[in-house]
Amino acid sequence: MQTPSPAPASDLDQYPHVGVSEIKKLGWRAIAKLAQSAPVVLTGHGKPEHVVMPLALFQSLQAAASSEDPLQALRRRFDERLSSVEGQKGAEALLKAMRSASPADMAQTADSPLVAG
């Protein structure tokens, strides 16, 4: 088995690599045991083909992938609140206030308990 080398977190080189022939030699149980603590890269002809990882890591990756992007959530909440403003004059007044507000005003409003939510 190849010893992981220091590498950026996004680089597969930081994880142990196991070739198909080593899987046959070591057995699946050895690979599964190795993968309990960190992902293991399975290689074919020296090239990464699959990654075996702990179930908890897989579940956390799935949860992160399915969660709403924070910026998108903020946009959605803003659009919902804007649509709830009654009448065109209310929407125009809100837009005028937003355009004239300083970044500090916006930050203070965003931190308000009336806005949080």
Report residue 48's pLDDT band, with 50, 70 and 90 as the boundaries: very high
Choose between 115 and 87: higher pLDDT. Answer: 87
pLDDT score at 86 = 61
Stretch 13-28: mean pLDDT: 87
Q: DSSP 3-state assignment of 102? A: coil
The CA distance from 30 to 42, in Å, is: 13
Interval 5-30 mean pLDDT: 77
| Distance in angstroms between the alpha carbons of the first and the last residue of the chain | 50
40-44 and 47-52 beta bridge pairing: antiparallel
pLDDT for 85 equals 65
Q: Is the pTM of this model over 0.85?
A: no
Domain residue ranges in the chain: 13-54, 68-98
pLDDT at 6: 37
Is residue 22 within 8 A of residue 41, CB to CB? The reply is no
13-54 CATH pick, 3.40.1620.10, 3.40.1360.10, 3.40.50.1820, 3.20.20.140: 3.40.1620.10
CA separation for the pair 56, 54 (Å, rounded): 5
For residue range 74-85, list pLDDT tens digits in order.
888 888 777 766
